[in-house]
Amino acid sequence: MRAFSEIEALAIQHHGSREVIAEKLTRPKTGDELRAIPDDRWLSGMTQAVFSAGFVWKVIQAKWEGFEAAFDGFDPGKVALYSDDDIARLVSDERIVRNGQKITATVKNAQFVQEIASEHGGFGSFLADWPASDQTGLLEVFAKRGSRLGGSTGQYFLRFSGWDAFIVSGDVVKALIREGVIDKPPTSKGAMAKVQAAFNQWTEESGRSQSEVSRMLALSVG
């Protein structure tokens, strides 16, 4: 596993300059910014990630206003109480993508958001207090207590919500294999632990966020 400065040099070599690379990086939100996000926005972000998984994300994005209306603005208190009749109504609602399993997952995730918010004073507070150095542990919580939030879906939800997340995308996997961290896409708990350890080392070494390290790895591939 080479030094992060060498990985950054590869990214610059592929993309032209340090300035070009800087434009492609995004800053994660601060703890205070995460805490300020209301719970309905967390449920909205979860749902967008779940519905986008395995689907054309632009279609989901184009329909999102309809999703917001159909799901009562993603108010966790309302969505968590949806009945079978509500789910049947949504399966027939042309404003959204009518996937019954993902609609049911949204109801379960509303309950998840409510539970976490009750335990931690808000879902944003829960995420703000969870260290980026243990993203794998956070994803385990998502997998156990949420619905359809495991793997890349949870990673994309965290990144797009502003939490300091790495994403094990195709290019990131190629970079991790190149660096000898893993030898194939990580699917086991042990492999993900190796990925987390590598990100933690590069983060400490570079002073960059985990999301920046993740993006830099992807850019270093080409």
The CATH homologous superfamily for domain 31-161 is Hypothetical protein; domain 2 (1.10.340.30)
Tell me what pLDDT residue 151 has: 86
pLDDT tens per residue, range 202-211? 999 999 999 9
Residue with tokens 């335990």: 119
Which of 75 and 17 is assigned the larger pLDDT?
A: 75
Q: How far is CA 91 from CA 80, 84, 98, 201, in A?
A: 17, 10, 5, 46
pLDDT beyond 90 at 26: no
For residues 58 and 26, give the distance between their C-alpha atoms in angstroms, rounded to a whole number.
21
pLDDT tens per residue, range 97-140? 999 999 999 999 999 999 999 999 999 999 999 999 999 999 99
Residue with tokens 């309302």: 78
Tell me what pLDDT residue 29 has: 98
DSSP character at residue 73: G
pTM for this predicted structure? 0.94
DSSP character at residue 30: P
Give the sign of the dihedral formed by CA 14, CA 1, CA 216, CA 8. Answer: negative
Structure tokens at 154: 């949870």
Give the domain ranges of the chain: 4-28+166-221, 31-161
